[in-house]
A and B are shown apart, each in its own frame.
Chain A
Amino acid sequence: MLASIKTNSFTNEGQKLGMMYFRVAIILFGAQLLMGLIAAFQFLVPGFLFELFDFSVARMVHINALIVWMLYAMIGSVYMMITDETGVETVGIKLGKLGFWVLTAAVTVVVLVYIFVQVGSGTEASIWLIHEGREYIEAPRWADIGIVVVVLIFYYNVFASYMAGKQTGIMTVMVANLMALAGLYLAGMFFTDNISMDQFWWWWVIHLWVEATWEVFVGTLAAYALIKLIGAKREIVEMWLWIEVLMLFGSGILGLGHHYFWIGTPEYWWEIGALFSSLEPVPLIAMFVHVLYDWGKEQGEAHGRGEEGNVVTNSPAMAWIVTNAFGNFLGAGVWGFFHTLPQVNIYTHGTQFTAAHGHLSFFGAYATILIGMMYYGVQKAHGVEKMKMNFNSKMGIFLITFGVLGMTVALTIAGYEQVLVERAELGGTWNAFFVAQELPWYIQAQLWRTIMGVVTLVGFIYLVWDLLTIGKKNKAQQI
């Protein structure tokens, strides 16, 4: 099995480096699931690891592992496509590899400090060395600076290759979008005593990442993947990509307003946030239609030419990308729209509703397509012409998707209980919180969330097993 990790038939250095990023990403994905399970279990048995490994620690590692594995997989995906798109070997690849090791060493230290140091004293030193205590961007300041340096190296790789080679529409969007994505991180790198100011800028990072630049990133990846996996025509894919950019940025940038309803910011954000964030599902529908339409069209044309079989050259990757089209629309679009209007959000803000949306949207919009790219990487690593799903791939995608959907439904029910009882009925006080948390239906929902978390973990084990073995199996069949 370990031999299969080393096997590679990559034709360029960028893809080798991309695969290195994928390997770390999948390990961090596993860490995310384990930490999530600990945190979920603590809802049911509050004494579990109390004052030893508290909920706050498990939850911090859970969401940080999520963000970091996704960034790793995103960077990996870009390295996968640089040479394909530009036609030149990645410029400055040695520096890129050095960046990988620096980043990985830093991430390891950060995680160990999270787990073993946990909290610091109320001093600047804690913010610099332990963590910043700001949800999602907890990384301590020293690591922030390290991340910026490594991202600059990565950006240099992408930008220099883009300038040296072909400048396709896909790469143009990628280069512009990555600049925005990287630049936004700077908005989260300062301390202020003013909690409203703090959250104002915090959302510039979180929202403008996950609801704007990351979504455009996904659109770009999907465009590339459709060309590679089903032979979609570049003109059509790139036209769609520009339409997606238009709609995603057109709605997503000002959609930021839906985070400014209750943090001290003025009331006009109600209207701005409501209007633009309500439009956010529109591009997600477009992306969904685009993926399925192109697939049907290519398949139909192939049949018309009298070709037999499937046009898909990598069926597990394609399965994950179709799941992405569904999941992005459902998790980010539908579950996001559920509570995006201020009239609704005043009751749902800060309840398990948000957690339900968070789970399905991060999974549906990002995890899916990044896993798809990992399968694409495996295909390249083994030089497989046509990769086919097997039992493990199917179990992986089915159990993970089913598990995350189950968690989402359970958390939605928990959120519904909370909204009605804690918020609407009792007004969100300390006592109201505990009354809602102790409702039998709330507890039942938390139990189902935990069970579905275990289902997801089992699916993850199938997924990892499959990623490690599918290339070799397919290669053997090919010969």
Chain B
Amino acid sequence: MAKKNVSVWTSIPFWRRSAAWVTGFAVILLIWLSFDTLGQISMGTDEDLKAGTTKRVPAPTVINYKITYEMNKQRGSEIPIIGGKDANGTSSFEEKELFFGKEWTEEEAADLLHLGKLTSQAKNCMNCHTLLGNGAYFAPDLTKSWLDPAWDTKGVMVSMISSMLPSKLVERIEAGKAVSDEDNQLIKDMKIDIANGKMLTKEEAMAIFLRFPSSYPTHERMMPELAITADEAKGLVAFLKHMSSIDTNGFPRNFSKSVDQFKVGGSNAR
């Protein structure tokens, strides 16, 4: 150690100082970029939606709007379109739609989204599904699931759920097991609807599916029943609808192509 270093390239102090400078620089740049990003991804407000201001993560009241996902020439990728398209091919925030049969106030929508996000964590969605592409790979990605052609009102899921009682719940009732008043009411209501041939809305069908997924099997791999209550299911659907309105820089790519194919051809199943 007494020997003087012959070259800076083998000098420990040189590398130590360099490591400190490079790390410091990277950290400062990361913090600076993070501040910018946090501003851009903070949730928008109802005012933004009303004023037609596009936010990367819109307000919870986005559930009152019609949402689509369409190719934008300028961006070169698909973008969420909220409330219909304007002349530039971006969101016009004009076209609204009822969500569970009503328009939600700012406070109601925020509470519903809060319940939905909490439920998505409590039910461990992320350890089968991916959300924004992150999670497990056992079940479909949920990023744009609200817009999925499978859940189109003419699609396979809505018609199946509109015409079939949740078999697992029916079995439980027939076996004389105690079920909640809520569940008894659900069966009564569904029986009337089925007798009248009434089609459920997308959100109603989704909420029933989320509560009794294994009663509506489509593949050998099924979603398990996770003791989701009717309110939690509503919250989850709001959470999914809200997530579909987030600007994900075009992920998943080509999703809208499948949606279009479904609309012209009925099904893209093969």
Residues of A at under 8 Å CB distance from B? 39, 42-43, 46-47, 50-51, 54-57, 59-60, 118-124, 126-127, 130-135, 138, 169, 191-200, 202, 235, 238-239, 242-243, 245-246, 249-250, 253-254, 256-257, 260-270, 272, 346-347, 349-352, 354-355, 418, 423-424, 426-435, 437-438
Q: How far is the CB of A353 from chain B (nearest CB, A)?
A: 9
Question: A56-B224, A133-B120, A427-B252 provided; 9 other pairs, C-beta below 8 A?
Answer: A54-B224, A121-B229, A135-B135, A195-B57, A200-B41, A243-B19, A250-B23, A349-B133, A428-B255
Closest residue on chain A to residue B23 by CB atoms: A249
B251 in contact with A431 (CB, 8 Å): no
Bound state CA distance, A245 and B24, in angstroms? 12
B118 in contact with A55 (CB, 8 Å): no
Closest residue on chain B to residue A244 by CB atoms: B19
Q: How far is the CB of A172 from chain B (nearest CB, A)?
A: 8
Q: A202 contacts which chain B residues (CB < 8 A)?
A: 134
Of A200, A245, A437, the contact of B221 (CB 8 Å cutoff) = A437
Closest residue on chain B to residue A270 by CB atoms: B249
Which one of B91-99, B189-197, B240-248 is at the A interface? B240-248
Within 206-262 of B, Cβ neighbours of A (below 8 Å) are at: 214, 218-222, 224-229, 232, 235, 239, 242-243, 246-259
Of B119, B138, B148, the contact of A430 (CB 8 Å cutoff) = B148
Check B4 for interface membership: any CB of A closer than 8 A: no
Give 14 A-B contacts (CB < 8 Å), ordered by A residue.
A46-B220, A51-B225, A123-B122, A127-B118, A193-B117, A195-B242, A199-B132, A239-B11, A250-B26, A266-B56, A346-B253, A428-B252, A430-B149, A431-B267
A253 in contact with B30 (CB, 8 Å): yes
Closest residue on chain A to residue B17 by CB atoms: A242
Q: A134 contacts which chain B residues (CB < 8 A)?
A: 121, 126
Q: How far is the CB of A184 from chain B (nearest CB, A)?
A: 12
Q: How far is the CB of B212 from chain A (nearest CB, A)?
A: 11
Within 170-206 of B, Cβ neighbours of A (below 8 Å) are at: none
B252 in contact with A131 (CB, 8 Å): no
Which of A121, A257, A270, A435 is most buried by chain B, counting CB atoms within 10 A of its CB?
A: A121
Of B221, B247, B254, the contact of A46 (CB 8 Å cutoff) = B221
Q: What's the A-B contact tally at a CB cutoff of 8 Å?
A: 274
Which one of B45-53, B82-90, B107-115, B159-167 is at the A interface? B107-115
Q: How far is the CB of B24 from chain A (nearest CB, A)?
A: 9
Of B22, B123, B249, the contact of A250 (CB 8 Å cutoff) = B22
Closest residue on chain A to residue B225 by CB atoms: A51
Q: B54 contacts which chain A residues (CB < 8 A)?
A: none
Residues of B at under 8 Å CB distance from A? 1, 10-12, 15-16, 18-19, 22-23, 26-27, 29-30, 33-34, 36-38, 40-43, 56-57, 60, 110, 113-128, 130-141, 143-145, 148-151, 214, 218-222, 224-229, 232, 235, 239, 242-243, 246-259, 267-270
Q: B38 contacts which chain A residues (CB < 8 A)?
A: 197, 200
Closest residue on chain A to residue B131 by CB atoms: A195
A47 in contact with B220 (CB, 8 Å): yes
Q: B123 contacts which chain A residues (CB < 8 A)?
A: 119, 122, 133
B56 in contact with A239 (CB, 8 Å): no
Q: A423 contacts which chain B residues (CB < 8 A)?
A: 252-254
A131 in contact with B118 (CB, 8 Å): no
B127 in contact with A265 (CB, 8 Å): no
Bound state CA distance, A120 and B258, in angstroms? 35
Q: How far is the CB of A471 from chain B (nearest CB, A)?
A: 35
A126 in contact with B122 (CB, 8 Å): yes
A262 in contact with B133 (CB, 8 Å): yes
Bound state CA distance, A322 and B254, in angstroms? 43
Q: How far is the CB of B147 from chain A (nearest CB, A)?
A: 9
Bound state CA distance, A431 and B155, in angstroms? 11
Q: How far is the CB of A236 from chain B (nearest CB, A)?
A: 9
A263 in contact with B132 (CB, 8 Å): yes
B56 in contact with A196 (CB, 8 Å): yes
Would A239 and B26 be within 8 Å (CB), given that A59-B127, A126-B122, A264-B246 are in contact? no
Bound state CA distance, A463 and B270, in angstroms? 47
A133 in contact with B126 (CB, 8 Å): yes
Would A432 and B258 be within 8 Å (CB), given that A51-B225, A122-B119 are in contact? yes
Q: A427 contacts which chain B residues (CB < 8 A)?
A: 252-258
Bound state CA distance, A267 and B36, in angstroms? 12
Would A434 and B23 be within 8 Å (CB), given that A56-B124, A121-B229, A354-B137 are in contact? no
B248 in contact with A264 (CB, 8 Å): yes
Closest residue on chain B to residue A426 by CB atoms: B258
Q: A196 contacts which chain B residues (CB < 8 A)?
A: 41, 56-57, 132, 246
A253 in contact with B115 (CB, 8 Å): no
Closest residue on chain A to residue B243 by CB atoms: A195
Closest residue on chain B to residue A124 by CB atoms: B118
Q: How far is the CB of B207 from chain A (nearest CB, A)?
A: 13
Of A192, A426, A433, the contact of B141 (CB 8 Å cutoff) = A433
A119 in contact with B127 (CB, 8 Å): no
Q: B40 contacts which chain A residues (CB < 8 A)?
A: 265-266
Would A431 and B19 be within 8 Å (CB), given that A119-B124, A253-B27 are in contact? no
A246 in contact with B18 (CB, 8 Å): yes
